[in-house]
Amino acid sequence: MMRYCVYGKNNQSIKLDPRTKLLLCLCISVTLIAGSSAGVLRYLNYIPALVPFLFMISLKKYKNALIYLAVYVVCEIGTSALVPYLPDAVNILFTGVIAFSTRLIPGAMMGWFLFSTTTVSEFVAAMDRMHVTKKITVPISVMFRFLPTIREEYTAVQKAMRLREAGSFRNPVKMLEYRMVPFLMSVVSIGNDLAASALTRGLDSPCRRTNMCRIGFTWWDVAVVALLIIFYSCYIPIAVFRR
């Protein structure tokens, strides 16, 4: 089996195996969503929330990193400062939603890091190494192509409507008619095309798939796993003893 390719989509300084990226996504999402934020744990939660920021810096996505950091800090500090001064109804409807979004944003940004730095071949090869069923691998592989294509299609529709001076925010009805309707029709067509492409490439074949992608653990993966072990060796005892 041939396994050779340039690692990743980008010229990234931190080269991680797709399995390590999946582990990071899982750990950060579970820690922030299911974990507690009482006492010292609130400050420990800032550590996994900082991980997507560091990875965006490593990708030289400085603008995205600053936007993410600003949104997270404003949501985190703003909700704590405004809760005592706002009515209960406002806190339940808006402040609580904003506070909960601070637990979702880091996991979503790690998902963005996974999608933007991992090719379909690398992901499929990693799933094959883990003996994951094709029922899970194929839909996620299609999503790797689906999301970037959707973004490009929406940009194309937006530029076309701007050229025709149609569907601005001043007229929401026309915007839905001239932008969203063509966009949604394109989404259906793109989904069908990508599904057919996946079948053509043989992603659902029961035979062992041959690919030209080299994956494997490096010292970056070892360092990340070691840091995760150190973090949870401190986090879990504190969370257990506080109960």
Residue 49 has pLDDT above 80, yes or no: yes
d(CA 68, CA 147): 20
Residue 91 has pLDDT above 80, yes or no: no
Summarised one tens digit per residue, pLDDT across range 206-232 is: 677 677 777 888 899 999 999 999 999
Confidence of residue 51 (pLDDT cuts 50, 70, 90): very high
Residue 20 has pLDDT above 80, yes or no: yes
d(CA 26, CA 205): 28
User: What pLDDT score does 183 carry?
Assistant: 79
User: What pLDDT score does 167 carry?
Assistant: 58
Q: What is the average per-residue pLDDT within 125-144?
A: 81
Q: What is the average per-residue pLDDT within 153-169?
A: 74
Q: What is the average per-residue pLDDT within 113-138?
A: 83
Tell me the three state secondary structure of residue 142.
helix
Structural domain boundaries of the chain?
A: 1-119+213-243, 131-210
User: What pLDDT score does 174 carry?
Assistant: 72
Q: What is the average per-residue pLDDT within 80-95?
A: 70
User: What pLDDT score does 97 carry?
Assistant: 72
- Concatenated DSSP letters for 149-198? HHHHHHHHHHHHHHHTT---TTSHHHHIIIIIHHHHHHHHHHHHHHHHHH
Angle, helices 18-34 vs 46-58, to 10°: value is 150
pTM here is 0.74
Summarised one tens digit per residue, pLDDT across range 52-63 is: 999 999 888 899
Q: What is the average per-residue pLDDT within 99-125?
A: 84
User: What pLDDT score does 96 carry?
Assistant: 65
Angle, helices 18-34 vs 96-117, to 10°: value is 180
What Rg, from alpha-carbon coordinates, does the chain have?
A: 21
Report which of 126, 120, 142, 133 is spatially closest to residue 206, judged by C-alpha positions.
Answer: 133
Q: What is the average per-residue pLDDT within 164-174?
A: 67
Exposed / middle / buried, residue 127 (Cβ in 10 Å: 0-12, 13-18, 19+): buried
Question: What percent of the chain shows pLDDT beyond 90?
Answer: 13
Tell me the three state secondary structure of residue 132.
coil
d(CA 129, CA 208): 11
Summarised one tens digit per residue, pLDDT across range 182-215 is: 778 887 787 777 777 767 766 666 677 677 777 8
Distances (CA, A) of 129 to 19, 38, 54, 122, 140: 9, 39, 28, 11, 16
User: What pLDDT score does 242 carry?
Assistant: 67
